[in-house]
């Protein structure tokens, strides 16, 4: 399998990348690690006229701690998170998620921003960072803007990003010392795309949020997920799964409900 012909340009700065994207009138794709786009190109599911390589832009590789948490540049790799190069401000959550993404050779190249922009429903970061209420930092011809990740991902492989905008990084809030999390994903083989993902975050002061991932749509947030952990209302899980769009298929329904229950059990443990 060989990719269709495309041109390639390496951007030296965010401005240069935005200029290249603007000039290409929607026929370019941004590439960072290329671990999702590479297969798409080889399978000819994507046939852009131009690849704009942003991997070497210094600012996109930076990790900056703030009082509220951390700003992680788009081109930070999964392996960097796995190896602890990103300071642990999520009580081990991001490290655990990173270590479970695909395979080490993929994690060495694949980036957090690339994964978010690819917005594969079975991707780990769209689910994990939605759970953390992360904010997407965007730059385009109109300047800088930001929006919650929950808003940013609009559907399978779809985001709010305009063709001339790039995701600069993610602002991720720090978890409180008493916060607890769980992340359970079901794959038929380690490293495979997940069939179902369940993630729960208890902030330690009563608020409890969950995300249903690897559905056929954007990650589905359950804002008040106490019923999952307390196992107080089994009917509500059914309606949450229905709202996540998995009710049409008995297998999907079964696997997602089991994954959510296991995530709840993990949190309680």
Partner 1 sequence: MTLKKSIRITVNGRTVDADVEPRQHLADFVRDELLLTGTHTGCEHGVCGACTLYLDGKPARSCITWAVACDGGEVRTIEGFDDDPVMGELREAFSAEHALQCGYCTPGMLVTARDIVLRLPDADEARIRLELSGNLCRCTGYVGIVRAIAKVLASRKSSARGPG
Task: Give the interface with partner 1 as residue ranges (CB under 8 A).
Answer: 1-8, 10, 31, 34-35, 38-39, 41-43, 51, 53, 55, 79, 102-106, 108-109, 189-191
Backbone phi, psi, residue 49, to 5°: -80, -25
Minimum separation from the CB atom of position 157 to partner 1 (A): 16
Collapse the DSSP code of 223 into the 3-class scheme (helix H, G, I; strand E, B; otherwise coil) and give the result: coil
How far is Cα 120 from Cα 103, in angstroms, rounded to an integer?
A: 17
Rg value, the chain, Cα: 18
| Closest of 131, 134, 263, 133 to residue 201, by C-alpha | 131
Beta bridge partners of 145: 138
Are 170 and 137 a contacting pair, CB within 8 Å? yes
Are 130 and 121 a contacting pair, CB within 8 Å? no
Nearer of residues 64 and 104 to partner 1, judged by Cβ? 104
Q: Return the structure tokens found at 84.
A: 């602890």
Minimum separation from the CB atom of position 192 to partner 1 (A): 9
How far is Cα 78 from Cα 46, in angstroms, rounded to an integer?
A: 23
Nearer of residues 81 and 137 to partner 1, judged by Cβ? 81
Nearer of residues 108 and 133 to partner 1, judged by Cβ? 108
Minimum separation from the CB atom of position 180 to partner 1 (A): 25
Minimum separation from the CB atom of position 42 to partner 1 (A): 5
User: Cα separations (Å) of 200 from 4, 32, 37, 125?
Assistant: 41, 29, 29, 14
Minimum separation from the CB atom of position 121 to partner 1 (A): 19
Nearer of residues 83 and 151 to partner 1, judged by Cβ? 83
Residues in the chain: 269
Nearer of residues 2 and 248 to partner 1, judged by Cβ? 2
Nearer of residues 187 and 247 to partner 1, judged by Cβ? 187
Minimum separation from the CB atom of position 194 to partner 1 (A): 14
């Amino acid at each position: 399998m060989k990719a269709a012909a495309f041109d390639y340009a390496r951007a030296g700065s965010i401005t240069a990348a935005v200029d290249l994207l603007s000039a290409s009138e929607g026929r370019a794709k941004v590439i960072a690690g290329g671990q999702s786009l590479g297969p798409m190109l080889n399978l000819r599911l994507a046939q852009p006229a131009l690849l704009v390589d942003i991997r070497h832009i210094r600012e996109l590789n930076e990790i900056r701690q703030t009082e509220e948490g951390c700003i992680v540049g788009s081109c930070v790799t999964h392996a960097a998170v796995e190896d602890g190069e990103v300071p642990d401000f999520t009580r081990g959550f991001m490290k655990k998620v990173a270590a479970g993404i695909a395979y080490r050779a993929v994690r060495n190249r694949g980036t957090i921003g690339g994964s978010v922009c690819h917005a594969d429903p079975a991707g780990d970061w769209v689910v994990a960072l939605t759970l953390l209420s992360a904010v997407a930092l965007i730059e385009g011809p109109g300047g800088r803007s930001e929006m919650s990740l929950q808003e940013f991902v609009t559907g399978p492989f779809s985001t709010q990003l305009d063709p001339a905008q790039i995701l600069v990084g993610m602002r991720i809030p720090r978890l409180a010392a008493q916060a607890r999390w769980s992340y359970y994903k079901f794959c038929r083989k380690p490293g495979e795309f997940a069939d179902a993902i369940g993630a729960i975050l208890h902030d330690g002061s009563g608020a409890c949020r969950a995300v249903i991932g690897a559905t056929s749509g954007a990650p589905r947030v359950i804002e008040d997920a106490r019923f999952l952990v307390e196992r107080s209302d089994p009917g509500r899980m059914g309606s949450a799964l229905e709202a996540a769009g998995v009710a049409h298929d008995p297998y999907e329904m079964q696997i997602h409900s089991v994954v959510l229950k296991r995530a709840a059990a993990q949190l309680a443990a």
